[in-house]
Amino acid sequence: MNRYFIKKAIGAACFIVMILSGFMMNVKQLSLKIDWGAGPEQIVSEIESGVNEQFYGRHGFIDLFGALQRVMGKREMNDFEVVQDEQGFLHYTYFGEGASETTELVEALDDYRNGIEDKNVKFMYAMTPDKFIPGYTTFSKGMPYNYANETADQFLENLEKYKIDSLDFRDGLEESGIAKENLFYKTDHHWKVE
């Protein structure tokens, strides 16, 4: 039992030494870039900027973080605000139980259209495609889906009820001839290694 605690103590000591040595390297690197004669607010701002931008070994930490994410198979960011599908695209999402209600949005658009009617302006709503392509996009088990296409369908149906002209760009995706993996830019984030 005593041997167990000795191993833990050695591991903790090594960890503390690593943290302190990293701290000392960063203090040395940051202190060269700070104008200590400036006011306290500017000093704090420079320290914050320095920690974010001139952190010693910053790229190594970013690479290590990305590698850990990949090893863990993590495909979500910011508490499932953004998820990555099996095809590598990032999606803003939330846990939904069905299409969101769109009547209020359509009524607001109808009010807007009626407000510009006397200005001799034609009004049309253009529905942009969502990165979730039915029959192509797949998510890992447990990833949320926000029913964006179902909500868009409901929205367009409501536009039709109000006789608001619309153009659905989702319809042309299949006939565009563009490979599905090239339809959208594969976004990235500064802390990812991909």
* Total domains, the chain: 2
Q: Are residues 40 and 120 part of one domain?
A: no
Looking at residue 118, its pLDDT comes to: 87
**Are the beta carbons of 123 and 164 closer than 8 angstroms?**
yes
Looking at residue 57, its pLDDT comes to: 77
Looking at residue 13, its pLDDT comes to: 92
Q: Are residues 99 and 60 part of one domain?
A: no
Q: Are residues 131 and 100 part of one domain?
A: yes
Report d(CA 130, CA 142) in Å as an integer. 20
Give the β-pairing of 82-84 and 90-92: antiparallel
Q: Are residues 112 and 163 part of one domain?
A: yes
Q: Are residues 116 and 64 part of one domain?
A: no
Looking at residue 140, its pLDDT comes to: 87
Residue 79 within any structural domain of the chain: no
Count of alpha carbons within 13 Å of 73, Cβ hemisphere only?
Answer: 6
Instruction: Determine the 3-state secondary structure of 38 from DSSP.
Output: coil
Q: Are residues 99 and 178 part of one domain?
A: yes
Q: Are residues 153 and 70 part of one domain?
A: no
Give the β-pairing of 166-168 and 125-127: parallel
Q: Where are the alpha helices (DSSP H) in the chain?
A: 2-31, 40-53, 58-72, 103-116, 148-161
Residue 104 within any structural domain of the chain: yes
Query: Domain residues for 159?
Result: 90-182
Report d(CA 92, CA 21) in Å as an integer. 39
Instruction: Determine the 3-state secondary structure of 5 from DSSP.
Output: helix
Q: Where a domain ends, among 17, 46, 74?
A: 74
Looking at residue 1, its pLDDT comes to: 65
Q: Are residues 62 and 129 part of one domain?
A: no
> Which residues share a beta bridge with 76?
83
As to burial, measured by CB atoms within 10 angstroms (0-12 exposed, 13-18 middle, 19+ buried), residue 123 is middle
Task: Give pLDDT tens digits for 172-187.
Answer: 887 888 888 888 887 6
Looking at residue 109, its pLDDT comes to: 95
Q: Where a domain ends, among 42, 74, 106?
A: 74
User: 């914050």: which residue's tokens?
Assistant: 48
Q: Are residues 54 and 12 part of one domain?
A: yes
Integer-rounded Cα Rg, in Å, for the chain is 26
Residue 188 within any structural domain of the chain: no
Looking at residue 191, its pLDDT comes to: 46
Looking at residue 52, its pLDDT comes to: 75
Residue 100 within any structural domain of the chain: yes
Looking at residue 42, its pLDDT comes to: 85
Q: Are residues 169 and 94 part of one domain?
A: yes
Report d(CA 194, CA 29) in Å as an integer. 28
Q: Are residues 46 and 125 part of one domain?
A: no
Residue 63: CB atoms within 10 A of its CB come to 14
Instruction: Determine the 3-state secondary structure of 112 from DSSP.
Output: helix
Residue 187 within any structural domain of the chain: no
Q: What is the pLDDT along the chain (194 residues), one digit of tens a residue?
A: 688 888 888 989 998 998 888 777 777 766 666 777 788 888 888 778 777 777 777 788 888 887 888 888 888 888 888 888 898 888 888 888 889 999 999 999 999 999 998 898 889 999 999 888 888 899 888 888 889 999 999 999 999 999 999 999 988 887 888 888 888 887 655 444 44
Q: Where a domain ends, among 50, 74, 98?
A: 74
Instruction: Determine the 3-state secondary structure of 2 from DSSP.
Output: helix
**Are the beta carbons of 103 and 154 closer than 8 angstroms?**
no
Looking at residue 190, its pLDDT comes to: 44
